[in-house]
Structure 1
Amino acid sequence: MPINLESVRPLPAERLHVEVYSTRTDMGNAAAHDVVKKMKELLAEKERIRMIFAAAPSQNEFLAGLTHADGIDWSRVTVFHMDEYIGLPEDDPRRFSRFLADRLFDIVRPGEVNLINTSKGLETECKRYGELLRAEPIDIVCLGIGENGHVAFNDPWVADFNDPKTVKIVQLDEACRNQQVHDGCFPDLEAVPTHAITLTIPILMAGAYLYCIVPGKTKQNAVKRTLYGRITPECPASVLRRHPNCTLYLDKDSYGN
C-alpha cells in the first residue's frame, strides 16, 4: 500500500495521480500490478494492445514485476521503446533495445517487438518508426523522469509540447549524459554518446494510460518541479499534469519531504 501522505498532490485542478512507497521495490511492484491490471482490462476489450517502454535502471523493479505476472497473453501485445543512443554497436549491452530485450521482451515474448535501428539512415529510421507508432493508437506508456526533468530523451532544451515530429534526432545535454554515469551505465562522461533518437512528447502524451516510475534521491528536484513548478519545457515532465490518466510512482527517496 502507498504511504498515506496528504501532501502528495500536484497543483490544484490538475489530473496527475501520485503514489509514494516506502521502498523502491514496493514502488516497482505496485506499478507492475497496476499496469498488469490495465493490460488485462484492455485485452478483454480488444484483440491487441500497443505499449511503449522506457529503458533505464529506474525501471528495473517494475520490469521484473511484469515478467512475473500471470494471465497475460503477450502474443497479443505490440511493444515499442522510447529512445536509442546513436553510435553504439548493435550488440552493445548498453543499447536501450538490448536493455529491454534482456529484462522484458526476451522473457515475456510479445507478439510484435518494434526496435529503433540506429545503424540505418537516421532520418529514414525516424520516419519509419514514427509511421509504426502512428499506425494505431497507443494504449499504455511506461516511462520515467530524468534528473533534468526529461521524458524519453526530450531534454529541456529540445523538448517541445507541440512537436510536429513523432520521432527525432537529438543532442543530449550534459546533465542527461551525466545521469547515465550516475546510473552506472557508462564509466565516465566521455564514454556516453552525445546524440540519440527519441520519441517526442506528443506521441508519449497520446498514450491512453501513462505509468511513470521514478525512484531515487537524484530525482528529488525533478519530481518537485514536475509536481509543483510551472508546466513548461524547462521541466519536460511537468506536462504529465495535463494527461487525464497518468499515475506517478515514487519512493521515499524521490519524493523527499
Structure 2
Amino acid sequence: MNRIHIQTAADPTAVGKITAEIFLSHVRAKPNAVLGLATGSTPLPLYAALVNAFRAGSVSFKAVRTVNLDEYVGLAPTHDQSYRYFMNENLFKRIDIDLANTHIPDGTAEDPEAACKAYEEKIAALGGIDIQLLGIGLNGHIGFNEPDDVFSKTTHVVRLTAMTRESNQRFFASLADVPTHAVTMGIGTIFAAKKLVLVVTGANKAEILKKTLYGEVDPRVPASILQFHPNVEVFADEAAARLL
C-alpha cells in the first residue's frame, strides 16, 4: 500500500487553483502531454484556472492530447448534458487546444463493445495517460465505475445505480431524463495512468473520502483501489477533509 499525499485548501476555488498548477506544470514540461479529464461540478474551478492561465499567456495547449473518463449512453455530443458538450463549453473552446486531439467515449455508437475497445486502443496509441483527474461519487465510484463484486479492467458500458442517477438528476429536467447507462474507463485503465489526481470538495463527500483513503480496499468502494497506486495526490477542501 502506498502513501497518498493529501493537500487541503479552504474552498473549491482554492482547490481548483492548486490542482491546476499540477496540470500546468505537466503541460509546460511536456507540451504534448496526455491529460485524463473528468466532468461534473468538482473540476469546474480547476478548468477556470487553466483558462485563466491560457488567457494570461503562461501556457499553450496546442499540442496537448486529452482523454475523458466517461460519457452517457444515448446522448448526442450536441446534447447540453453530454460530457462532450460539457468539455467543449467549460474548457476546450476557451483554450487553444486542437479539438481533434480531444477524446471522449462514444455514447452513441451502434456497437458499444467495439467502441469501448477502440477507446482503449486510442489511449494506448497516445502512449498512455500522463496524469488523470478524478472526482468521487457519494458511493465511491470513480468515472462511472459503480460498486461491484470485482474491480473492472477496461473501458465498458455500465448501468448507473439509483444513487448516481439521483445525484445527477439536478442537471436534467427530471429523473426519467437521466440516462440509465454510461461508457466509462475501467479501473484498470485509470490505474494505468502515470499519475492520479483526486479532487474532492464538499461536506457530503467527507465520509466517502475517509473510507476511500483509510478503509479496506474493496470493489464495493471503487475509489479505494487508489491506495495501491504508486503516484496519487488528493486535493480536498476543508469541508471534505474534515474527517481525515
**Same fold per superposition (TM over 0.5):** yes
CA contact (8 A) 1:172 1:195 kept: yes
- Residue 189 of structure 1 deviates from its aligned partner by 2.6
Matches within 5 A, 1:2-81: 14-43=2-31, 48-69=32-53, 70-81=57-68
Moved over 4 A (4+): none
1:176 — aligned with what? 164
Please give the alpha-carbon distance, in whole angstroms, between the structure 2 residues aligned to 1:77 and 1:196. 26
Alignment of 1:147 with 2:131, yes or no, is no
CA contact (8 A) 1:159 1:201 kept: no
How many residue pairs are counted as aligned between the two chains? Answer: 236
Alignment of 1:227 with 2:216, yes or no, is no
CA contact (8 A) 1:86 1:118 kept: yes
CA contact (8 A) 1:117 1:125 kept: yes
1:141-187 per-residue CA deviation (whole Å, 9 max, x = no partner) reads 111111110110001127615x2xx2100001111112213xx3124
- Residue 16 of structure 1 deviates from its aligned partner by 1.2
Question: Which AA in structure 1 matches 2:225?
Answer: V
Over 3 Å counting, the alpha-carbon distance change for 1:153 and 1:64 in structure 2 is same
1:114 — aligned with what? 103
Over 3 Å counting, the alpha-carbon distance change for 1:172 and 1:158 in structure 2 is farther
CA contact (8 A) 1:15 1:243 kept: no
Question: Which AA in structure 2 matches 1:16?
Answer: I
1:130 — aligned with what? 120
Please give the alpha-carbon distance, in whole angstroms, between the structure 1 residues aligned to 2:175 and 2:77. 21
1:102 — aligned with what? 89
- Residue 119 of structure 1 deviates from its aligned partner by 2.1
1:208 — aligned with what? 194
Alignment of 1:160 with 2:146, yes or no, is no
- Residue 211 of structure 1 deviates from its aligned partner by 1.3
Please give the alpha-carbon distance, in whole angstroms, between the structure 1 residues aligned to 2:85 and 2:116. 19
Q: Which moved more, 1:19-28 or 1:187-196?
A: 187-196
- Residue 220 of structure 1 deviates from its aligned partner by 1.5
1:26-82 per-residue CA deviation (whole Å, 9 max, x = no partner) reads 111110112212222233xxxx22111001111110111111124323111111111
SS in 1 for 2:196: strand
Unaligned runs of at least 5 residues, structure 1:
1-12
TM-score, normalised on structure 1? 0.86
CA contact (8 A) 2:138 2:208 kept: yes
CA contact (8 A) 2:76 2:107 kept: no
- Residue 245 of structure 1 deviates from its aligned partner by 1.5
Unaligned runs of at least 5 residues, structure 2:
none
SS in 1 for 2:239: helix
SS in 1 for 2:233: strand
Q: Percent identity?
A: 29
TM-score, normalised on structure 2? 0.91
2:204 — aligned with what? 218
